[in-house]
Structure 1
Amino acid sequence: MNMKNNHQEIKAIGKYLRLSPIKAGRILDQIRGKTYEDAILILQFMPYKACISIKKILDSAASNAENNNGLSKNTLEIKKAFVNQGPTMKRFQPRAQGRAFPIHKPTCHITLSVGEPTTEQN
């Protein structure tokens, strides 16, 4: 018998971040499924710019869980972590002899969901 769990997922979203979605996705792959404390440690010591923004979003999701749902930060687990592409800012770089080269500055939207760990018994 397959019963659905009524576990809550509390989420936080960071929108229009000036990061490449590919680079942010590499970091999200590292923390997906980890506990809140483990993910904070991983993000703290990774040398990438995206870690700062992802850590802020994770802190926000954990605070939402603590304040709105009464959950403890120590027991939280990252359920979902994904990135979507945002609008690309288009700029031009002047070059020699009156030419212009296009520059594309990507943005992204990061979504993190946290919740209590599920203990499945078979």
Structure 2
Amino acid sequence: MIKNENREAKVLAQNICMSVFKARRVIDQIRGRSYEEALMILELMPYRASYPILKLVYSAAANASHNMGLNEVDLFISKAEVNRGTIMKKLKPRARGRSYLIKKTTCHIKIFLKEKYKV
């Protein structure tokens, strides 16, 4: 049986209510690391952005083991991206009948897991 070495599990979360820069700060720490090491890093990080990313890494590993039959111990984060999403705009009432615009930024997060090559 020939195994396809280019299989990778991916997960995508859209419109997460956080800044792109805050999410990238967390993603940069786990890119290229093994699955178990990334879980340890994300659980100990003090940032609010680490919890949604932790859920995404869990989901990507579950996709890899259930859909593709890959072993979770051999997985590593091959690619991780954070892109800008839509900006939700609200108006805040101010003095003298004026209003100020409040911009709530969102982001899209993609995580790809691959199996390590065994030599």
Question: Normalising to structure 2: TM-score of the pair?
Answer: 0.91
Shift in Å, 1:119: 6.0
Match of 2:33 in 1: 34
Question: Does structure 1 residue 107 correspond to structure 2 residue 110?
Answer: no
Determine what percentage of the aligned residue pairs are the same residue. 45
Match of 1:25 in 2: 24
Q: Name the residue aligned to 1:13.
A: 12
The one-character-per-residue Cα deviations of 1:48-75 (angstroms, maximum 9, x if unpaired) are 1111100111111000000011111111
CA distance in 2, matches of 1:88, 1:21: 11
For residue 83 of structure 2, give the secondary structure of its aligned residue in structure 1: strand
Equivalent residue runs for 1:1-122 within 5 Å? 6-118=5-117
State the alpha-carbon separation in 2 of the partners of residues 52 and 105 from structure 1: 19
Give the Å deviation of 1:97.
1.7
TM-score normalised according to structure 1 size: 0.89
CA distance in 2, matches of 1:33, 1:116: 12
Distance 1:97 1:54 in 2: 43
Could you say if the C-alpha distance between residues 111 and 19 of structure 1 is closer, same or farther in structure 2, counting changes exceeding 3 Å?
Answer: same
Provide the rounded CA distance (Å) in 1 between the counterparts of 2:30 and 2:81: 11
- Going by fraction, where is strand more abundant, 1 or 2? 2
Aligned pair in 2 of structure 1 residues 6, 72: CA closer, same or farther (>3 Å)?
A: closer
* 1: CA distance, partners of 2:100 / 2:92: 5
